[in-house]
Amino acid sequence: MGPVIGQLEQVSLIGYVSSVDKSNAEEEEAITSELVERLLGQWENVQGIQDECLYMMWTWDNRFDGTDKEEMFIGFRVSYESEAPNDMVKKVMPKGGYAVYSMNPAEIEPETWDLLYKNLFSKESGLEESAPFMLQRHISDDQVDIYIPVKETEEHPE
């Protein structure tokens, strides 16, 4: 199943951030569970929640240190004006082009990510990554939308 490519408006999110080692699945799962529990406990304290979905964002612009550590964010979509409560942070997914995949989370295997990125950014696609992050919107137990920032490949003179 291929992605839908299109433009999306800016999305504001409020939640929690942690550093995770993508090579350690048990650690990632433990951190994810702890952040989700903390987040759901803050439902009443976060103003301007826009929907009942859970948003998870991974940012890897910190990979320059040669590790598999990434920043993981788990939060709620909120109105632009919303401010983060004390120990939470506000993140903004910028307006831009995105490839959006809709999948059943139970069908996502570790190799799924490599295949998605390999196909999405092949020479034939004419696309390249436009920012070092990926966002998941968990809609239900059976559906997750995956947003990958893309732009058209810039032609380089030879």
User: What are the beta bridge partners of residue 16?
Assistant: 74
Is the pLDDT at 42 greater than 80, yes or no? yes
Buried residues in 85-123 as b, exposed as e (16+ CB within 10 A): eeebeebebeeebbbbbebeeeeeeeeeeeebeeebbee
Any domain includes 55:
yes
Is the pLDDT at 64 greater than 50, yes or no? no
- Domain count of the fold of the chain: 1
- Residue 75 is part of a domain; what is its CATH number? 3.20.80.10
Residue 125 vs residues 94, 101, 142: alpha-carbon distances, Å: 22, 15, 28
Q: What is the pLDDT of residue 65?
A: 57
Q: What is the pLDDT of residues 74-84, one digit of tens each?
A: 999 999 999 99
**107, 77 contact by CB (below 8 A):** no
Any domain includes 123:
yes
Q: What is the pLDDT of residues 96-117, one digit of tens each?
A: 999 999 999 998 887 888 888 8
Over residues 24-46, the mean pLDDT reads 91
* Residue range(s) defining the domain that contains residue 17: 4-152
Any domain includes 158:
no
**CB contact set of 20 (below 8 Å; sequence gap of 6+):** 27, 28, 31, 32, 69, 70, 71, 72
Is the pLDDT at 92 greater than 80, yes or no? yes
- Average of per-residue pLDDT values in the chain: 88
Any domain includes 91:
yes
Residue 156: pLDDT band (50, 70, 90) is: low
Name the residue among 1, 51, 4 with its Cα closest to residue 148.
4
Any domain includes 79:
yes
Any domain includes 73:
yes
Over residues 2-12, the mean pLDDT reads 91
The tokens for 61 are: 């612009």
Any domain includes 157:
no
Over residues 4-8, the mean pLDDT reads 92
